[in-house]
Structure 1
Amino acid sequence: MSAEMNHITRKDFLKKMGATLAGVSLLGGVGGILTACGETSAAEMADSNESAGEGMEPVVYPLAYKRIDPDAAAERAYKYYKEQGG
């Protein structure tokens, strides 16, 4: 095997990488499309979500604004950063 056969130009490399990335992107989106084609209704999905989180209250959006003391937040951040090993 000669060295010429293994030679690849930058242009060929970029073309092949672009095609590969496009293929991976398209295949990644196929899963979302296929799950949207299921026969599960929205009511069934809501029922399954409720049973998974029994005892939990639903989150109401928009969340209420709560004022935070910057000094207390800085102390907590420093403390937990050191405790968790940064």
Structure 2
Amino acid sequence: MTIEKKEKEISRKDFLKGVGASIAGVTLLGGVGGILTACSDQTTAEVQTTVEAKGKPEWPFPYAKLDADKAAERAYHAYLSKGG
């Protein structure tokens, strides 16, 4: 008695079809959660409350001159504290 293994070969075309279908499925399922969350009334109410509390920013934003040395120091410390 011999047990024969039947090896399944997959073509390049079939492989690419499977990968494409997987990516499309993950993309669609990942977007469903965002859509459902965005439709909730609670989230919309929270955003509106935050905007009303802070007020709308003026447009165009006023120009503020930056100190290059302070900006560099702040960026350096932020890089170190956040782990790169």
Deviations 1:18-62 (A, max 9, x none): 0111112222233305753x5x39xx943x453xx6xx6335154
> Which structure shows the higher helix fraction?
2
Partner of 2:69: 71
Q: Which moved more, 1:61-70 or 1:14-23?
A: 61-70
By relative contact order (CA 8 Å, sep 6+), the higher-ranking structure is: 2
Structure 2 residues without counterparts, runs of 5 or longer: none
**Sequence identity (%):** 43
**After TM superposition, which residue ranges in structure 1, 4 or more long, deviate above 4 angstroms?**
none
Partner of 1:17: 19
TM-score normalised over the length of structure 2: 0.56
Paired residues in the alignment total 75
Letter in 2 for 1:18: G
Letter in 1 for 2:57: V
Task: Give the Å deviation of 1:80.
Answer: 4.0
